[in-house]
Amino acid sequence: MKFLGNKATVMPLAVVTAMLAFGVPQADAQGLFERLFGGGIRHTPQGDFPPPPSRQPRYKPNANAPAVSRSGGGGAQISSPSYRTYKSDPLVRVDFSTLAATPEPAMPQDAAFQPSSATDVAFREAIAGLGDYELYAEKDIAKALIAYYSANPDFIWVTENGANSRAQDAVRVLGETASYGLTPNDYTVEVPAAGASTSNTDTRLKELARFEMALSARVLRYVHDAQSGRVDPNRITGYYDFPAKPLDMEGVLKTLARTQQARTYLESRHPQNVEYQALRVELESLQASAEDEVVVDPKLLLKPGQTSPELPKLLAKIARDLDDEMGGAYGEILARLATSEVYDPELVPVIRAVQKKAGMKGDGVIGPRTVAALVGTSKVDKIRKVKVALEELRWLPSDLGSPRVFINQPAFTASYIENGEEKLKTRAVIGKITNQTSFFYDQVEQVDFHPYWGVPQSILVNEMLPRLRRDPGYLDRAGYEVVNARGKRIPSSSVNWGAYGAKIPYGVRQLPSEANALGELKILFPNKHAIYMHDTPQKSFFERDMRALSHGCVRLQDPRGMAAAVLGTSVDYVAEKLKHGHSTEKVARTIPVYVAYFTAWPDMSGNVEYFHDVYDRDTRLQQALDSTEAVRSPAS
């Protein structure tokens, strides 16, 4: 493949041959493999879909978390991304001295700004009293305040002797932040009393000037938080990969200075998708509801014949939620054994039935996942999960796009959604705890039929290399090809694998076959994490409830259905393509794909479902939010 700009074209065989013959400067075998066989090439989606993250992170790598570690056997290993203790940037004091010292312009710097001479004079008199005002704000907000008011020497929020209607609307919006899962104290502004005495003009001007600056600072914080979230996710862990959302803060103030629809504008800064609205409705409902009186130990583990005082509470919850069908089949058993602390064999069919109804395997063992599915999540945990989900949604585009592919890792599902309809939903397998799937978004690019599997360097180093040191010819016998940095195939047995550690100057790929790790097809959205959707020969994994079992890629129970969906064709077409061996087909439409992580997420009807935090990421995000709140709390 050759990539020109944002588009991929087929590279002529002669060019490939020339590349292999004369070498590829500054490219190792793995990099060459990625270009030839669909690994990690970035692209910029067209249209309104925001570009995926840049290869350059918004954070500095943690010097204490090296990518290469030493194994117990003395060999190097490639480590997974680490989690970091989040430290919010400190607030800075706004330096109003530069604003007060700004000479009066002969003409307004902003051509659209036309203050009257009276308001200009009043404003300059007012800011003269800001020298001892201690207003703390984020660094970029502090900079924007000075830049805006230097170019636009007039009030936004003050008219004559008090706060105007625009200010009143803005203050009301800032006071409603809890409904968005935000912290109201982060946006608090003290409003000057209306109708105050004007006997001391200088004091009143100083009061109004401080209100003006404080409200502008908190409005800018609100707009930033609504659009992008309160934390930078990329600073939490390398598993998060999101592009920055540029925000013209001076432009925000200019817009607010010219509109009487402050509420409409501020509320429009939040994500404008139905999922965000559904989560807000859920949050409001939770905050108004009473706690569920049935609380079962979430760590309960009970097998038939065992005893627990938690069992009657679980049975009471099941009995209360029985529908007519389940009641007719199991109502008598539940009534007779309602107070039993012994998990009687008669209860096993009941537990299996409710497990299957909840989408579980139905093995009859009562464990944490069964308790969570049958009893549900506590009110406190639900509120926390919804607030976390609202924050995470702010990291994504406001319009999620249609059509789109949405993978929710905690739910172990992948969906194809078009025109508000979930046209395909399939079970998915995600990365193990030690090989976690990242949280990012990109764009579907192509489907590979009977694909080659380019073995990632991490698997080659961490899992294959120890065996290759003992058995150099292993790859030759197991259906793999080895190429050197010039693209030349060489026998695995000819390589001195013991000479290499974390940097192996060879590429390895598995040939298409029934045993291929990718199964019969893969769906590519090239990204730096080398994550994609694919088939798998390990079909039994989809029968498990906990499906964090892969090396990081997303395995699909219905890969043919997903391939047909993204290609805009039929499953029969996909089956026909598979009859003809290895081939690749480009996706002609713009289809964003979200490799997402939400422990609270609404279904297509708006009903919010809750999932286990398989990677414990909610806890880490909460630590980052707490850090941000701690930095903001002493601010004036």
- Encode pLDDT of 155-196 as tens digits: 999 998 899 999 999 999 999 999 999 999 999 999 998 765
The predicted-structure confidence for 602-616, as pLDDT tens digits, reads as follows 999 999 999 999 999
Highest mean pLDDT, choosing among 88-102, 307-321, 486-500, 546-560 = 546-560
Nearest Cα neighbor of 225 from 185, 263, 182 is: 182
Torsion of CA 483, 489, 494, 499, to 10 degrees: -10
Report whether the peptide linkage leading into residue 403 is cis, meaning its omega lies within 30 degrees of zero: yes
Torsion of CA 151, 153, 155, 160, to 10 degrees: -160
Catalytic residues: 534, 553
Rounded Cα distance, 394 and 388, in Å: 10
What is the per-residue pLDDT for 593? Answer: 98
- Is the model more confident about 188 or about 635? 188
- Give the mean model confidence (pLDDT) for residues 64-93: 70
Q: Is 129 helix (H, G, I), strand (E, B) or coil?
A: coil
The predicted-structure confidence for 382-435, as pLDDT tens digits, reads as follows 999 999 999 999 999 999 999 999 999 999 999 999 999 999 999 999 999 999
The single-letter code of the amino acid at 464 is M
Strand partners, 441: 594
The two tokens of residue 456 are: 């990632």
- Is the model more confident about 379 or about 13? 379
Q: Where are the alpha helices (DSSP H) in 229-295?
A: 249-258, 262-267, 274-288
What is the per-residue pLDDT for 196? Answer: 58
Task: Supply the angle between the helices 617-632 and 379-393 in degrees, to the nearest 10.
Answer: 80
What is the per-residue pLDDT for 292? Answer: 65
- Residue 498, CB-side half-sphere exposure with 13 Å CA sphere: 5
φ, ψ dihedrals at 602, nearest 5°: -80, 145
The two tokens of residue 158 are: 């003050």
Plot region of 362 (φ>0 → left; ψ -120 to 50 → alpha; else → beta) = left
Neighbour count for residue 23 (Cβ, 10 Å): 13
Cβ 341 vs Cβ 308: under 8 Å: yes
What is the per-residue pLDDT for 457? Answer: 85
- For the chain, the domains span 2-79+456-509, 92-283, 311-375, 400-452+512-598
The single-letter code of the amino acid at 628 is T
The single-letter code of the amino acid at 557 is Q
Predicted TM-score (pTM) above 0.75:
yes
Could you tell me the CA-to-CA distances from 289 to 282, 371, 380, 600 in Å, in that order? 10, 21, 11, 17
According to DSSP, residue 229 is labeled: -
What is the per-residue pLDDT for 49? Answer: 40
What is the per-residue pLDDT for 105? Answer: 52
The predicted-structure confidence for 113-160, as pLDDT tens digits, reads as follows 444 445 567 788 888 889 899 999 999 999 999 999 999 999 999 998
The predicted-structure confidence for 41-75, as pLDDT tens digits, reads as follows 333 333 334 444 443 333 333 333 334 444 434 45
What is the per-residue pLDDT for 309? Answer: 94
Q: Which fold has domain 400-452+512-598?
A: L,D-transpeptidase catalytic domain-like (2.40.440)
Cβ 369 vs Cβ 359: under 8 Å: no
Could you tell me the CA-to-CA distances from 460 to 96, 240, 473, 507 in Å, in that order? 58, 24, 14, 9
Nearest Cα neighbor of 262 from 229, 327, 218 is: 218
Whether pLDDT at 581 is above 80 = yes
- Give the mean model confidence (pLDDT) for residues 454-477: 90
Task: Supply the angle between the helices 249-258 and 201-228 in degrees, to the nearest 10.
Answer: 120
Strand partners, 521: 449
Expressed in percent and rounded to 5, the helix, strand and coil fractions of the chain are 40, 15, 45
Rounded Cα distance, 414 and 596, in Å: 10
Rounded Cα distance, 127 and 154, in Å: 10
The two tokens of residue 111 are: 């051509």
Q: Which of 93-107, 206-220, 330-344 is predicted with the least confidence, judged by mean pLDDT? A: 93-107
- Is the model more confident about 279 or about 198? 279
Residue with tokens 């003269």: 128
Neighbour count for residue 616 (Cβ, 10 Å): 11
Q: Please report which confidence band the pLDDT of residue 293 belongs to, taking 50, 70 and 90 as the band edges.
A: low
**Mean pLDDT, the chain, integer:** 85
